[in-house]
Amino acid sequence: MPSRKSPSNSESPTTRLREVSAGLPFAPHRIGHLLDETGRYSEPFDREFPFLIKLFRYTSRRHTRGATWHERLELFLPLDGPARLRMGDDVVELDAGDLLVVDNLKLHHVEDFPGFDTRVIVISFLPEFVYSLGSPSHDYAFLLPFYSKVDRHPHILRARDPLASGVGDALGRMLECYFARHDRQFREAGCKAFLLEILYYLARQFRGSKVLKWEFVRQQERSLRLKGLFDHLGVHFAERITLDDAAKLAKMSQPQFTRLFKSVAGMTFVAYLTHLRLAHSLRLLQETDDTIAEIASSAGFADQSYFDKRFKKSFGHSPREFRERQHAAAANRPKT
């Protein structure tokens, strides 16, 4: 493992991370093959080590489009410049070095803007990597930043915040450990140690949203109560399903379901279902030669004009314009 370099008082967390990342490969953000029809983003995990670090390069109009969601927990840090994420109904503005705690069950995606070009560090892990049945009771505190957003505001550790230097140092050592080419005997143990250090700083940063352990467990249970519905929608999203149907599938009253779904998914059920259908239609536009009318019907839109309107509102172009831009980009792409 490379030797640790302690940051000086004048060295920013971002400077430290750029130094560590200088020799690492940042791949173009292409994850379409890992998404299902609803935008569910599945990454294979080692059951003994359910932890991943992905290094992506985002450029304007050159990243995978469409909203995604996933069960794993995730941290997102732009390394070079600004980035903009939509999570549910919220839009989050990030500068270089800002660390975002992603609301993983909410549909989310990186938004494009003119001049968008940045490298991004994405840390993913399963909750049981940190806390599960049989863990010491105090270990639940490490996951509070992911489950304790009772104030409904995204959790962002800004690069200028006092605790950011500690997080940047721990993240730098984690990158060195994870991507080390030699001395890998303690790679897994080291990555977990540095992750816990990062989560410790995040828990301290967001102590204003601190919840008791019973409330933490209750919030986990709320998400689990909707898992059956999420699985059902993953297969039947194009079928007609009313709010009442969804409440019955979740075995709740409609008012109870409405409140719970908004708190977990970050948007209403109708908006969520529309996003699933749009995500499916986006992939059909990219991967098939089906007509716009056929795609609208396949995605669950009975009215093509409504589909056109919703698609343009979400992606900035009509379905036809989007497909034409995709074809033009493919034609201009250098041949290998």
In terms of domains, do 102 and 37 share one? Answer: yes
Confidence check: pLDDT of 2 > 50:
no
CA proximity to 198, closest of 304, 123, 137: 123
Six token digits for residue 204 = 């301290």
Is residue 4 one of the residues assigned to a domain? Answer: no
Domain assignment present for 186: yes
How many domains, in total, are found in the chain? 2
Residues 92 and 195 in one domain: yes
Does residue 175 share a domain with residue 49? yes
CATH number of residue 167's parent domain? 2.60.120.280
Scanning the structure block, which residue is given the tokens 């953000």?
Answer: 29
Question: Which residues in 237-272 are b (16+ Cβ under 10 Å) and which e?
Answer: bbeebeeeebbebbebeeeebbebbbebbbbebeeb
Q: Say if 138 falls within a structural domain.
A: yes
Q: Are residues 318 and 200 in the same domain?
A: no
Tokens 């489950």 correspond to 147
Domain that holds residue 233: 226-332
Same domain as 122, residue 260: no
* pLDDT over 90 (residue 331): no
Q: What is the mean pLDDT of the chain?
A: 81
In this predicted model, which residue has the larger pLDDT, 164 or 66?
164
Q: Flag whether pLDDT at 208 surpasses 60.
A: no
97 or 233, higher pLDDT: 97
- Among 211, 235, 255, the domain-final residue is 211
N-term to C-term CA, the chain: 36
Percent share of the chain, pLDDT over 70: 79
Tokens (6 digits) for 105? 């069950």
Q: What is the pLDDT of residues 273-325, one digit of tens each?
A: 887 888 788 888 878 889 999 999 999 998 899 999 988 887 778 899 888 87
Q: Are residues 319 and 177 in the same domain?
A: no
CA dihedral sign of residues 90, 96, 99, 103: positive
Least confident span in 130-144, 205-219, 274-288, 301-315: 205-219
Q: What is the CATH number of the domain that holds 250?
A: 1.10.10.60
Name which residue leads in pLDDT, 133 or 106. Answer: 106
Report pLDDT for 4. 45
Same domain, 205 and 304: no
Q: Rounded to whole angstroms, how far apart are CA atoms 305 and 293? A: 9
Cα pseudo-dihedral 227, 140, 268, 33, rounded to 10: -60
195 and 58 both lie in a single domain = yes
Same domain, 58 and 180: yes
226-254 pLDDT, tens digit per residue, is 878 888 887 888 899 999 999 998 888 99
State the Cα torsion 109-172-187-132 to the nearest 10°: -50
Pairing type for strands 83-87 and 99-101 reads unpaired
End of a domain among 151, 176, 211? 211
Contact 252, 261 (CB under 8 A): no
Residues 6+ apart with CB under 8 A from 312: 318
Q: Tell me the three state secondary structure of residue 291.
A: coil
Residue 184: pLDDT over 80? no
CA-based torsion, 116, 51, 19, 165: positive or negative: positive
Phi first, then psi: what are they for 55, rounded to 5°?
-115, 115
User: Rounded distance, CA 244 to CA 254, Å?
Assistant: 6
For the record, the structure tokens of 260 come out as 């719970």
Establish if 216 belongs to a structural domain: no
Return the structure tokens found at 19.
Answer: 């130094």
How far apart are the C-alpha atoms of 299 and 317, rounded to whole Å? Answer: 18
Total-model pTM = 0.67
Q: Could you give the CA distance from residue 170 to residue 178 in angstroms, rounded to a whole number?
A: 12
Q: Among 190-194, 200-204, 326-330, name the one with the lowest average pLDDT.
A: 326-330
- The residue among 217 and 198 whose pLDDT is bigger is 198
pLDDT-based confidence at 211, cuts 50/70/90? low
Q: Residues 268, 258: contact at Cβ < 8 Å?
A: yes
- pLDDT above 90 coverage of the chain, percent: 32
Per-residue confidence (pLDDT) for residue 7, from 0 to 100: 46
pLDDT band at 336 (very low <50, low <70, confident <90, very high): very low
Mean pLDDT for the stretch of residues 218-226 = 69
SS3 of 170, please? helix
Q: Are residues 56 and 123 in the same domain?
A: yes
